[in-house]
Structures are given as C-alpha cells and as structure tokens.
Amino acid sequence: MLGVRVPPDLWPFFTILKPMFSKIRKFTTEVRAELGKAQWPWDPNEKGFRRYKELTDSTVVVFVAMIILGGYIAFFDFILINVVGYLTRP
C-alpha cells in the first residue's frame, strides 16, 4: 500500500486537526455567502474611478469630520491647559 505511514502516537493529533479544519472550511464558506449578500458602496456597472464615487465621497466626509473634531478637541485642550495653569500658578 502506498502512502505515508504516521507513527501511532501522532494519531490523536490528526483526530484533533480534522474537526478544526472542517470548522475553518465551514466558516470561510459562510463568510463568502454573507459577503455575497452585502450591498457594496459602488455600482458594478460603472467603469474606472466613477465606480467608487460613493466610497470616495464617504471617505472625504470622514476625513473632514476628523479634522473638525480634532480642531475642536485641540482648542478646548489649549483653553483648559491655560486656565488650569493660570489657577495653579504660585
């Protein structure tokens, strides 16, 4: 009989691996099925960068919101540092 013979003390290891790989395979097939159901933020009929217009517009909105929020936090941080520094001056 051709094939690889596995020493008897390794069989428990292989019996542990088989269910683990079947769970991984099941997980990946379920993930692919769910990703197929997802509504992606682009039109598959468009070509080029116009295809990703909604995605780029959303990215720009996020960056602008980050800059505004960062400026807001930096401004109040600067004010509070100066007020606390003024109040705790010896």
The verdict on residue 3 lying in a domain is no
| CA pair distance 82, 55, nearest whole angstrom | 41
The verdict on residue 1 lying in a domain is no
The verdict on residue 2 lying in a domain is no
Could you list the residue range(s) of the whole structural domain that residue 12 is in? 8-87
Question: What percentage of the chain reaches a pLDDT higher than 70?
Answer: 82
| CA pair distance 7, 13, nearest whole angstrom | 11
The verdict on residue 28 lying in a domain is yes
Predicted confidence (pLDDT) at residue 1 exceeds the cutoff of 70 = no
Number of domains in the chain: 1
For the entire predicted model, the pTM comes to 0.50
Q: What is the pLDDT of residues 13-34, one digit of tens each?
A: 667 777 888 889 999 999 999 9
Q: How many CB atoms lie within 10 A of CB 55?
A: 13
Q: Of 56, 61, 63, which Cα lies nearest the Cα of 42?
A: 56
| CA pair distance 67, 70, nearest whole angstrom | 5
